[in-house]
Amino acid sequence: MSSKRHVLMVPCSTLRSACRLPLATATTTDLFGAVSHKQPCRQGVGRRRMDTIVSGRQRIEEPRDAFLAALRARGGGGGGAAASGLSNAGWATVVEGLKNGCASGMAAACAKLLLQPFDTVKTLQQANRGSLGMLEAAQDLVSRKGVSALYTGLGVTLVGSIPAVSVYFGVYQAVKKALLQALPPGLGWSLLGVAASAGVGNTVASIFRVPYEVVKQRLQAGMYVSTGQALRTMYRTEGGLLAFFGTSGVASQILRDVPYAIVTLLTYESMRRTRAERRLGPGESKGGLAKGSTALEDSVMGALAGGVGSLVSNPMDVVKTRVMTQPGLYPTVWSAVSKVWVEEGPSAFFKGTVPRLLHKVPANAIFFATYEIFRGFLRVQG
């Protein structure tokens, strides 16, 4: 019984340049190696050359196998291979997210250790309903409790901020990578991907950040003598675990953190891209964003980005401080906004700006420089 075959012809044109003799015939093989047809060829070709063509099964099967493997990878057959590819890609994303989380957590610890005093003074200013200058707040605190009081809440800050920052940057980098691959090329789309990723990352991280922020700010405001006292008193008198989230703690944290993250990371990524294009030329990295800066450049760009983000988000930082330290007086975000506006005026929303900048500018300089160093050490891709 005869059947149709798809024939892959192996022409002898390549042999003609090697031999100028009269034509004879040579056998060729089809896609699966079967002898199927005869084609004209010149006489006198060495037997070794003819045998290579006639018995070219291996040469035919190798590209065939490569072709079938490509079909399986694209889902045209062999779903197991495709599923395995997707699984590997998923695991790679998880691993990269964990690496980013570790790098950011270590970077945050470096910044917090060095700059906690400015954060303490900022909280004192913002929690005070009157006019309290930065130096006045620092002097009053030191005179009453000593220099160590400037580091109030450092322990709970380290314990709480490291996992929160790790979650933030782990989610941010994973979402950014996925969005930049999915969005069309171009700077506008790239920055949109950065903004969306920063918003998602900080929204998730805020849930982890609120409990330690509530405890830390109450310690800094002098409401409790120690972390242990704060934890025990809050748990017993304010409704158990819910006390560590406050009546509007999560809302105020998100409303402060998300704008800060979007502005800071948009500024930072834009500056890195501009610097890379001047040094390397445009289009050096996918999606219009760039990498490859030095530690000093990362430090300067991080400092500037942190300063811009701090200025933009300071009003909501004041609101967050009031909600977390005085929940009875400011039970909701809106009540805090309206009371501060009516009773203290618009300028009250910029209380603590100077110590916050003195904290955030060097903190971001240290953070982004060490973050990129740790990313390089951990061999983070992208």
- Per-residue confidence of the chain (382 residues) as pLDDT tens digits? 444 444 444 444 544 444 444 444 444 333 333 334 444 444 444 444 445 444 444 444 454 455 445 445 544 444 444 445 446 666 776 777 788 788 888 888 888 888 889 999 999 889 888 888 888 888 988 998 889 889 988 888 888 888 888 888 888 888 988 898 898 888 788 889 999 999 999 898 888 888 888 899 999 888 898 889 999 999 998 888 888 886 677 888 899 999 999 999 999 888 888 887 777 655 444 444 445 567 788 889 999 999 999 999 999 999 999 999 888 899 899 999 999 999 999 999 999 999 999 989 999 999 888 888 888 888 776 5
SS3 197: helix
Which pLDDT belongs to residue 292? 57
Instruction: Return residue ranges of the chain for CATH 1.50.40.10.
Output: 92-377
Which pLDDT belongs to residue 45? 46
Is there a contact between 291 and 236 (Cβ–Cβ < 8 Å)?
A: no
Secondary structure E strands in the chain: 23-29, 35-42
Which pLDDT belongs to residue 340? 95
In terms of phi and psi (left: phi > 0; alpha: psi -120 to 50; beta: otherwise), the region of 244 is alpha
Structure tokens at 94: 């998880």
Is there a contact between 198 and 265 (Cβ–Cβ < 8 Å)?
A: yes
Q: How far apart are the first and last CA of the chain?
A: 59
Which pLDDT belongs to residue 322? 93
Please return the burial class of 184, using the count of CB atoms within 10 Å of its CB with bins 0-12, 13-18 and 19+: exposed
pTM here? 0.66
Give the residue among 319, 357, 311 at the shortest CA–CA distance from 341. 319
Give the residue among 199, 91, 181 at the shortest CA–CA distance from 382. 181
Which pLDDT belongs to residue 248? 78
Provide the 8-state DSSP code for 184. Answer: P
Please return the burial class of 110, using the count of CB atoms within 10 Å of its CB with bins 0-12, 13-18 and 19+: middle
Which pLDDT belongs to residue 66? 52
Phi, psi of 133 (to 5 degrees): -75, 165
Which pLDDT belongs to residue 345? 94
Q: Could you write out the DSSP letters of every residue in 64-121?
A: HHHHHHHHHHTTSS-HHHHHHHHHHHHHHHHHHHHHHHHHHHHHHHHHHHHHHHHHHH
Q: Measure CA 118 to chain center.
A: 27
Contacts of 373 (CB under 8 A, 6+ apart): 295
Please return the burial class of 19, using the count of CB atoms within 10 Å of its CB with bins 0-12, 13-18 and 19+: middle
Is there a contact between 30 and 8 (Cβ–Cβ < 8 Å)?
A: yes
Is there a contact between 250 and 283 (Cβ–Cβ < 8 Å)?
A: no
Superfamily of domain 92-377, CATH level 4: Mitochondrial carrier domain (1.50.40.10)
SS3 35: strand
Structure tokens at 222: 């002098």
Contacts of 381 (CB under 8 A, 6+ apart): 96
Please return the burial class of 303, using the count of CB atoms within 10 Å of its CB with bins 0-12, 13-18 and 19+: buried
